[in-house]
Structure 1
């Protein structure tokens, strides 16, 4: 399980991407699930991080999903047209 922080904005996106990529590479499971339950303060950078995480997971032959997304995160994904790329776990 990949755990997103409580705050994920532009200022923290790069560090979060590195952390999630490291977790993806060290986890032997075939499914990558990003737990967004703690995420409360975010901007569109959160979507960019999730999409990069998805790309990395798929490159490793893993499936990707998001669990417990905040309703505003789902609304933002719909606004940007990427909802289908970030399915619910």
Structure 2
């Protein structure tokens, strides 16, 4: 679902409402573990489906990371996520790598 990978984090599950709570909690656990520090890459190459809940999860991870001194940068975001962010007017809030 979400795992540590080469100094960053990698999401390997669809980021949709059905998975949102589990993704949110798993990401918070990883951010709380202290393994991540400074700028951390969040690789979304393995994400093949997103809905608007994906943006909420990412923003929550950003907030939690910020509380711990971790800055998330998103790599390989799905085109549909970029489109949703533009639709909702929050593109500038996505920390793209």
**What's the TM-score once normalised by structure 2's chain length?**
0.82
Q: Within 2, Cα distance between the matches of 1:54 and 1:84?
A: 13
Q: Is the CA contact (8 Å cut-off) linking 1:9 and 1:43 kept in structure 2?
A: yes
SS of match in other structure, 2:41: strand
SS at match of 1:65: strand
Equivalent in the alignment of 1:46: 54
Match of 1:62 among 56, 70, 74: 70
List gaps (5 residues or longer) in structure 1. none
* Richer in helix (by share): 1
TM-score by length of 1: 0.89
Paired residue total: 89
Deviation (angstroms), 1:69: 0.5
Q: Which deviates the most, 39-48 or 3-12?
A: 3-12
Matched ranges for 1:15-54 at <5 A: 15-26=22-33, 27-54=35-62
Mark the runs of 5 or more structure 2 residues left unpaired by the alignment.
1-7
Query: Residue 11 of structure 2: which of 4, 8, 24 is its match?
Result: 4
Secondary structure of the corresponding residue to residue 66 of structure 1: strand
* Secondary structure in 1 matching 2:40: strand
RMSD over aligned CA atoms reads 1.3
Which runs of 4 or more aligned residues in structure 1 lie more than 2 Å from their structure 2 counterparts after TM superposition? none
